[in-house]
Every structure is written in C-alpha cells, then in structure tokens.
Structure 1
Amino acid sequence: MDTSTFYALFSATCFTLTGLWWTVVERHPHWLRDDGTRRQVASVYLAFLLPALMGLFAQIGGPDTPMFWRVSFVVIAVFGAVSTVRFLRNSRRDRDAGVFARHWWGSAVVYAAVAVLGAAPGLARGIGVTPLQAEATLLVLLVALAHALVWEFLTHHRPEPAA
C-alpha cells in the first residue's frame, strides 16, 4: 500500500474513532463533572484526534511537499507530548486513574519520536524506510496505545453519581 492511501484510510479511521468517542461521552455526561474523569475523557479524545490531523496533513503535504507535513507533524506531536505530560502529572494525583492512565508516558515518548522524525527525516532512511513510512508506523502505535487507554477507561470501575 502506498503511503498516500494509507494516510487517507488512517486519517478517516481516526476521525471516525473521534466521532464514536463523542457518542460514548454524550451518553455519560457524569464523566464531565469530575476533573480527573474529564481529563481522561479529553486524553482519549486527543489520542484519536491528533493522529487524525497528522494523517490529514500527510495527505496534503505528501512526498512532494515534505516541509508541509514535517512542520505539521512536529507542531502536533509537541502539542500531543505536552498534553500527555500534563495529563500524567494530574492523573498521578487522581486515585481513581487506572494503571495505564498513570503510565501513559509511552504515548509522550512516541509523540517525541514523531517530532524528532519530522525535524530530522534522514533518520528514517537510516533504517531503510521513507520518513512518511516511519511516521505512519509511529502513528499506528499511537492509536494502539489510545485503544488501550479507552479499554482501561471503559473497564475501570467508576460508580455512577447519585441521582
């Protein structure tokens, strides 16, 4: 599969997951009342939205205009890493956060790798792949981590608030 087709499918899939997450959250308005839970909800939202945006910018820039996708990947990845670190800092204080939420640092590391590859795409060629292929691999990893976060969030016991 060429990278253009991959990024088209990837981006559409991530935007669909973002929309599905909105639907899930809409059915649980009590999640937004508690600061810790609201942070987890927002973290899941960003975990799908940011890779979707990167996929979209990869399609716009593509191999013909690498500076466009590279700059957008760096900016979005830095935002993702900073957001993740803020979430981690807050979730460590949240006694109800699950193990994975407290150790969500893995996504910050992947975001950092996305930013580094965007800034220095020659690193990808050193391992025998194009920069867009290396970035695609990292974005797949981000979405896999996001799925793990969703699983933990949805299976972690959170009592419904008293009516």
Structure 2
Amino acid sequence: MDVSTFHALFSATCFTLVGLWWNVVQSHATWMSTPSLRRVVGGIYLSFLLPALMGLFAQVGGTEQPQIWRAAFVALSVVGCACTLRLLARARGDRFVTRQQAGAALLYALIAVVGARPELAGHIGLRPIQAEALLLIALIALIALIVMGHALVWRFAAGEGRAENAA
C-alpha cells in the first residue's frame, strides 16, 4: 500500500471515531459533570484526534514538503505524550492500563524523535514517513484505539447506555 493511501485511510478512520465518540458523550451528559470522568472522556477524544491529525498532516506534506508533517508530528506527539503522562499520573490500581499508557507515552516520544531527526529512520532501512506510519500503527495497536473505540462506541451508543434512556 502506498504510504499516502495509508495515511488517508488511517486519518479518515480516526476522524470517524472522533465523531462517533462525541455522539456517545452527548448521550451521557453526566460524564462531563465529574472532573475525573471528564479527563477520561478528553483522553479518549485525544486518542482519536491526535493520530487523525498526524495522518492528515502526513498527506498534506507528503514527500514533497516533509517539514510540514515532521513539525506536525513533533508538536502533536508532545501534546499526546504530555496528556498521556497526566492521565498516567492519575491512574490508580489497574496495572494493565498503566502499562498501556506508559507505552503510549513512549511511542508518542518516538514519533516526536523521528519527526525531529528523520535520518534515524534510515538506520532501519525506512523512509521517515514510513517509520512514522509504523509508529502510528504501533500506537494504535498498543492502546487498541480502533478496536477499543468501536467497542466503546457500540457499548455506549447501542448497548447499556441506551437501555437506561429507553426505560
């Protein structure tokens, strides 16, 4: 698959999940009234939005103007890493979630490093934009955004969240 096609599909999927997530949030207004739940809602939102924006900037910059996607990947990764570390600092008890968040923060940091120092990708025989695509795949796989996103959307949009409103 062409890297540009990958980023187009990847970005569109993540933007779709952003929209689906906000639809779920609108049907659960009480989530926004509790600070801890609001942080989780915002964290899930960023988990979809940041990779979507990275994919969009990768399409805009492409190989002709790599400084565009490189700057965007660095900036968005710094935001993602900082937000993930803030959530990690507040996480309690669940070691699996803590490890996932720590891994996500590490992957965000690696994405920023490759964006800032693209020549590092050459050491493993990849173009920088290919390395970034693989890191985004790893990020998505690690925190299971696509699968978890679909499961969460289905659970809250069609499952137990709607059952309360129907009664």
Same fold, TM-score > 0.5, yes or no: yes
Match of 1:105 in 2: 102
The CA distance in 2 between the partners of 1:82 and 1:120, in whole Å, is 20
Q: Is 1:129 aligned with 2:126?
A: yes
Verify the 8 A CA contact 1:101 1:149 in the aligned structure 2. Answer: no
Match of 2:88 in 1: 88
- The one-letter amino acid of 2:13's match is T
Aligned residues: 152
The CA distance in 2 between the partners of 1:130 and 1:8, in whole Å, is 18
- The one-letter amino acid of 1:3's match is V
Alpha-carbon deviations, 1:57-107, whole Å to 9, x = none? 001100111111111110110111011111111233xx7xx5444331111
SS of structure 2 residue aligned to 1:51 = helix
Identity of aligned residues (%): 52
Normalising to structure 1: TM-score of the pair? 0.84
Verify the 8 A CA contact 1:44 1:149 in the aligned structure 2. Answer: no
Q: Is 1:140 aligned with 2:130?
A: no
Alpha-carbon deviations, 1:7-27, whole Å to 9, x = none? 111111110011111111112
For 1:1-163, what aligned pairs fall within 5 Å after superposition? 1-92=1-92, 98-103=94-99, 104-144=101-141, 145-147=143-145
- The one-letter amino acid of 2:47's match is A
SS of structure 2 residue aligned to 1:63 = coil
More helix by proportion, 1 or 2?
A: 2
SS of structure 1 residue aligned to 2:63 = coil
Normalising to structure 2: TM-score of the pair? 0.82
Verify the 8 A CA contact 1:44 1:146 in the aligned structure 2. Answer: no
- State the shift of 1:139 in Å: 1.1
- State the shift of 1:38 in Å: 1.3
The CA distance in 1 between the partners of 2:5 and 2:62, in whole Å, is 11
- The one-letter amino acid of 2:109's match is A
Pair 72,131 (structure 1): closer, same or farther in 2 beyond 3 Å: same
- Listed as ranges, the gaps of 5+ residues in structure 2 are 157-163
Verify the 8 A CA contact 1:47 1:142 in the aligned structure 2. Answer: no
- Listed as ranges, the gaps of 5+ residues in structure 1 are none
